[in-house]
Structure 1
Amino acid sequence: MEDGVGSTLRNLLKSPLGIISGGRGFKGIFSKNEQSEETEEALKEELITILDEEEGKGAVNLFEKEMIKRVLKLYETKAKEIMIPRTSVFAVNIEDDVCDIIDEIIEERYSRVPVYEKDIDNIIGVVHIKDLFAQMRKGNIDCINLRGIMKQPYFVHEYKSIDEIFLEMQKNRTHMALVIDEYGGFSGIITIEDLVEEIVGDISDEDDEYEVDEPIFRISENTYKVDGLTSISDVNELLEIELPTDVNDTIGGLLLGTLGKIPNLEEENEETNAFFDDVELKAIKVSDKRIETLLVKLKPKSFLDI
């Protein structure tokens, strides 16, 4: 097994992205034959062990090791875990005045925008700003037909693995996937940039379509400021804690569900925090619809815990 894993390691180092774009995703990187889930997991663990050893020898640097680990995690990650949720997505109604639509798109500086008809759950296409500009150069803006220039939407289920999505987006030459839930409703979007960032980390862009702050920011040794939309599984993994994941997906949703309502931070006696064993969650910024930012406070480890 060592020779096969060593060969895989060399291939991954040559091109982590190439492993995915080769056509089969993670499940095809070890062998042309189908492997059981247990075998795949064992091979993955073996590869990670070799990576750690190679890093110790100086043959692999930390960036390369982390990038390869991210590639190995792709097949486990589902669309709903990395998507931009519908509440944060800018979309336009095909029935609105075309001049108003163009003004909004230019003002918000989005390059690709979902288009819906009557209801946002009914996405009918995606319009690219370059196609709008091409039509605008031809003359009368009022005559622009959005239906004629928008692209067909690429829909994916929220539980589809992101390595499969990456492959399909490459094959179809599309830059945006529309995520739908089990009822066919619109859940959010995934861009090709989101998928690449899952491998190489955050990509800074002065014209980033959906610019956000660092989702988990360390304030002190045991206190972190966390975006409410951050998944509980990500918080658990990064902070090495065990918050419950059986009911809620996001950290903000977990605190909201525990409190039973969105807290009024201006009320002196309002309950704004909740405890989960040795972890405290405290709301510090809210909107009418959700808990936007919260603090995660960890109990300091005693000498006996270490």
Structure 2
Amino acid sequence: MDDIPLLALLAVLVVLLLVSGFFSMTETALMAANRYRLRHRAEAGDKGAKRVLGLLAQTDRMLGAILLGNNLVNAAAATLVSVITITLVGDDKWALGLGTLAVTFCILVVSEVSPKIVGAAYADRLAPPLAFLLTPLMQLTRPVVGVINLFANGLLSLLRLKPKHYEASPLSREELRSLVLGARHLLPGKHQSILVNLFDLERITVDDVMTPRTAIEAVDLEADWEEIAAQVATSYHTRLPVYRGDLHRIVGILHLKRVVGLQQRELLNRETLEECLAPPYFIPAGTPAFAQLQFFQENRQRLGLVVDEYGEIDGLLTLDDIIEEIVGEFTTSTPAGGNRLVWGEDGSVLVDGSRSLRELNRKLGLDLPLSGPKTLNGLIVEYLQDIPESGVGLKVGGIPIEVVHTQDRSIKTVRLFRPAPREKR
């Protein structure tokens, strides 16, 4: 190499460092590229994305080619620096040592750290063109890489390791939920809320969203006919459970549209009312809400009665109850304003003891515990280990609560106070 000009040697060294940087950037960009975005682009016909996915499907060969080229280039650069050092200052040990330090610094800065930072920062954009350049190199080095991988796989076998082809690991439900929550700048707020509610729907059961037994409006066939007729005429629901004497003795479900014509012709009586009943649909307590949504669809039902292990009625569930868990409250079966939950000017609100804790949390922005009882009455009784008298106050989860009225061994009315805002640390 004595006949080669020094400038030519320096130019070759620069080229080697840049080629080494290409290999480093390629390795980082291909491994850091978003597999899901690449798969989406490939399905849309992007050839570059398809090429990248093809390389990732044979990770051992891809990494073998990259590392082979990178190590060869780095070794050549180190040798060339030694030649340049000898040409300039001779073969003294201190000179060769300084040359080694210099080439190490150049490789780290120019060929390793900088290219990898760029490759990681722009992985999705750089991966397709870099894969295009790497593909022919893989074909050229295929025999050598095959031999290297043979020895590498033999070593891994001795260590009892069985590597698999690299694939994007599937995201768990919680990871997907976090992904949606982190996409605030990409999704409208309402869309994001619906998606998050869909994930949460997997974790709740019908017990969390049903109307409790004490709050069910139903028709008792053993009541006076005038009372039954008035209830049917003034009910704000479209379907009513019908029982005989006791709510646990359900006879059927009455669709009020079926009796409108009979009422107009004055033909409605106990017998004709019973003829209009549809068979009741029962739901086992603890059924996941999402599964029940599918069951409603499969059985063409919109209303069901939740029963415990003894067949006793626990509550009533409608299709609307589940849908509102996904999209939020969109309809009501009570008079305007009769079902509203809003804080008063004094920072308090009166609520029924049978109110669902999930509903209170959603509508009032509270954080009442949901791991135990489902209703406010159950939460207070569990907390106090007793049925309290009127006027008793307590604090649950930082929320002040006052028992306003108790009757028949249950809490009828409760006053909730808006909790003080938590200080940000």
Paired residue type of 1:69: V
Deviation at 1:202, TM superposition (A): 0.7
Deviation at 1:193, TM superposition (A): 1.4
8 Å CA contact retained: 1:253, 1:291: no
Q: How far apart are the structure 1 equivalents of 2:422 and 2:265?
A: 67
Deviation at 1:259, TM superposition (A): 6.9
Q: Which residue of 2 aligns with 1:100?
A: 227
Paired residue type of 1:295: L
Q: Which residue of 2 aligns with 1:134?
A: 261
Q: Which residue of 1 aligns with 2:179?
A: 50
> Higher Cα Rg: structure 1 or 2?
2
Higher relative contact order (CA 8 A, sep 6+): 1
Percent of aligned pairs sharing the same letter: 20
Cα gap change, 1:208 to 1:82, in 2 (>3 Å): farther
Q: Which residue of 1 aligns with 2:400?
A: 281
Cα gap change, 1:152 to 1:84, in 2 (>3 Å): same
8 Å CA contact retained: 1:256, 1:291: no
Cα gap change, 1:259 to 1:226, in 2 (>3 Å): farther
Cα displacement string for residues 143-164 of structure 1 (whole angstroms, at most 9, x for unaligned residues): 7422211011110012111112
Deviation at 1:299, TM superposition (A): 5.9
| Structure 1 residue ranges without an equivalent (≥5) | 8-38, 266-271
Deviation at 1:190, TM superposition (A): 1.1
8 Å CA contact retained: 1:219, 1:225: no
Cα displacement string for residues 23-72 of structure 1 (whole angstroms, at most 9, x for unaligned residues): xxxxxxxxxxxxxxxx99x522232233234332xx31010000011111
Cα gap change, 1:240 to 1:108, in 2 (>3 Å): closer
1:255 paired to 2:380: yes
Q: How far apart are the structure 2 equivalents of 1:224 and 1:262?
A: 20
Which of 413, 417, 424 is the equivalent residue of 1:292? 413
| TM-score normalised by L of structure 1 | 0.70
1:145 paired to 2:272: yes
| Structure 2 residue ranges without an equivalent (≥5) | 1-33, 41-168
Cα gap change, 1:87 to 1:299, in 2 (>3 Å): same
- The 5 A counterparts of 1:185-196 are 185-196=312-323
Please list every run of at least 4 consecutive aligned residues from structure 1 whose deviation after the TM superposition is greater than 6 angstroms: 233-237
Paired residue type of 1:157: P
Q: How far apart are the structure 1 equivalents of 2:270 and 2:356?
A: 44
Q: How far apart are the structure 2 equivalents of 1:80 and 1:226?
A: 23
RMSD: 3.5
Cα displacement string for residues 201-236 of structure 1 (whole angstroms, at most 9, x for unaligned residues): 01144756995222x74878xx66474444456767
Cα gap change, 1:210 to 1:133, in 2 (>3 Å): farther
1:91 paired to 2:218: yes
Q: Does the residue aligned with 1:145 lie in a helix, a strand or coil?
A: helix
76-85 vs 90-99, which moves further: 90-99
Which of 287, 290, 305 is the equivalent residue of 1:160? 287
Q: Which residue of 2 aligns with 1:178?
A: 305
Deviation at 1:296, TM superposition (A): 4.6
8 Å CA contact retained: 2:242, 2:251: yes
Q: Which residue of 2 aligns with 1:76?
A: 203
8 Å CA contact retained: 1:55, 1:65: yes
Which of 242, 245, 256 is the equivalent residue of 1:118? 245
Paired residue type of 2:375: T
Q: How far apart are the structure 1 equivalents of 2:211 and 2:376?
A: 15
Q: Does the residue aligned with 2:309 lie in a helix, a strand or coil?
A: coil
Q: Does the residue aligned with 2:184 lie in a helix, a strand or coil?
A: helix
192-201 vs 142-151, which moves further: 142-151
The structure with the greater share of residues assigned to helix is 2
8 Å CA contact retained: 1:169, 1:192: yes
Cα gap change, 1:103 to 1:82, in 2 (>3 Å): same
Deviation at 1:99, TM superposition (A): 4.7
8 Å CA contact retained: 1:109, 1:209: no
Cα gap change, 1:225 to 1:99, in 2 (>3 Å): closer
The structure with the greater share of residues assigned to strand is 1
Q: Which residue of 2 aligns with 1:31?
A: none
Q: Which residue of 2 aligns with 1:23?
A: none
| TM-score normalised by L of structure 2 | 0.52
Cα gap change, 1:154 to 1:2, in 2 (>3 Å): farther
8 Å CA contact retained: 2:343, 2:418: no
8 Å CA contact retained: 1:255, 1:273: no
The number of residue pairs the alignment matches comes to 257
